[in-house]
Amino acid sequence: MTHGDGTRSVWAGEEHPLWERSTQVPIAQTVSFGYGDVDEWMAVALGEEEGHIYSRNTNPTVAVFERRIAALERAEAATAFATGMAAISGTLRTLLGPGDRVVSVTDTYGGTTKLFLEFLPRDGVICELVGTDDHEAIETEVAKGCKVLYLESPTNPTLKILDLERLAAAGRAAGATVVVDNTFATPINQRPLELGADLVVHSATKFLGGHADALGGIVCGGQGLVDRIYHYREINGATLGPFAAYLLQRSAKTLHLRIERQNSNALTIARHLEAHPAIDRVFYPGLESHPHHDIAARQMKGFGGVLAFSIHGGLDAVKAVLPRLQLAHLAANLGAVETVAGPPATTSHVEMTAEERAAMGIPESLVRYSVGIEDVEDLIADLDQALEAAAG
């Protein structure tokens, strides 16, 4: 298929005609699928014929969402999960067993870091987390041999950038399966499989869904790997439900438009805040001042809808500014059509102590600001009035 991202967002994954000739994807809100013919039922159960048996395994509404995101990521296959964390833990547990080594970085999403530090070691998996800024140190760890190289870029919440093409090459040379969490970028801005990764994982809860009303996760990649992860999921049971799948595939139809707007809003706001006297530092890969701006410019089409900034005056200033924002939910999610703001202590790194956050270079004066699709002039005016009122 040679279609562009907009066409794929709208059409990919729909097989027409749909049920009763509806033009829109129906919600197959059903646990199971009935068969009048036992031979046919058995053929579907054995995978010899197409069809669905039981919704923990497969469901037609979920399948549309899987095909749509696979098409956007240029992947052969995809399998959807109940949440992003279910997708990430299902992927890692499929690939890793006792004695296996996984190399990752210190700045992965907070829940993912917990998997590496708390849960995977219990199963005898050796987890090596390297400083996110040090590409050479990551390559050195990978070259020692590992089963999985797990990457995330841009990272949460300080928007660090990893050179995915360079690190995927290192991972492949070591015989590792390379997994990339592409939640912050989305396939509109960055396509890790084209940069050499084997698997892409998403929290669909964020930009893919985009409306903060459905949880979900998805893994995309080659058929063989995705089949293994699907098998883990069908038994482990963290399946995406049909109603959430309906919402997510519907929202994906506007993904390209939302991301283009969020990219441009975020860049304009980042530039504005960088020049603002109340702001200590702005973290956004689209700024020339970002230490890895050149890598981001090479591997991303746009720089994404999330930025972070630290305010002069520390946590007290954060507590004064945030409640004064009128055009932002103070909440833990991101990637929605509405602007969402919050400190890492209550969002990405809620699982960590203040000391752990400090050790990771996440200041308590930091605000994560997920830019929505509002008019950028209104968001800038809102930020300015909140910063001014808090200072005065």
The set of catalytic residues is 56, 109, 181, 206
Residues of span 16-55 touching ligand PLP by CB under 6 A? none
Asked if 249 touches ligand PLP (CB under 6 A), the answer is no
Nearest CA among 324, 318, 320 for reference residue 368: 318
3-state secondary structure of 153: coil
| Cβ atoms 347, 332 nearer than 8 A | yes
Pick the stretch among 57-65, 122-130, 200-208, 372-380 that binds ligand PLP (CB under 6 A): 200-208
Q: Is 1 exposed, middle or buried (0-12, 13-18, 19+ CB in 10 A)?
A: exposed
Judged by CB under 6 A, which of 13, 60, 84, 285 binds ligand PLP?
84
Residue with tokens 């219990």: 122
Contact pick of 71, 72, 109, 285 for ligand PLP (by CB under 6 A): 109
- Select the span of 42-50, 57-65, 180-188, 235-243 touching ligand PLP (CB under 6 A): 180-188
Of 35, 329, 299, the closest CA to residue 187 belongs to 299
116 is an interface residue for ligand PLP by CB under 6 A: no
Applying CB under 6 A, among 210, 217, 302, 363 the residue interacting with ligand PLP is 217
Considering only the stretches 30-38, 179-187, 264-272, 293-301, report the one whose residues sit in contact with ligand PLP under the rule CB under 6 A. 179-187
Q: Which is nearer to ligand PLP, 153 or 177 (CB)?
A: 153
Q: How far apart are CA 139 and CA 320, in angstroms?
A: 43
- The residues, any chain, with a CB within 8 Å of residue 280's CB and separated by 6 or more, are 309, 310, 311, 312, 365
Quote the CA–CA distance of 200 and 71 in Å, as a whole number.
Answer: 12
Tell the smallest beta-carbon distance from residue 38 to ligand PLP (Å).
39
**Spatial separation of the C-alpha atoms in residues 173 and 384, rounded to whole Å:** 49
Distance CA 221, CA 92 (A): 14
Amino acid at 292: H
Least Å from the CB of residue 381 to ligand PLP:
28
> CB atoms < 10 A from the CB of 386, how many?
21
217 or 302: CB nearest ligand PLP: 217
In the complex, the smallest distance separating the C-beta of residue 23 from ligand PLP, rounded to whole angstroms, is 29
Does 203 engage in binding with ligand PLP (CB under 6 A)?
A: yes
# chain residues binding ligand PLP, by CB under 6 A: 15
Residue nearest to ligand PLP (CB): 84
Cβ atoms of 173 and 301 closer than 8 Å: no
User: Binders of ligand PLP among 133-162, rule CB under 6 A?
Assistant: 152, 156
Name the site residues for ligand PLP (rule: CB under 6 A).
83-85, 109, 111, 152, 156, 181, 183-184, 203, 205-206, 215, 217
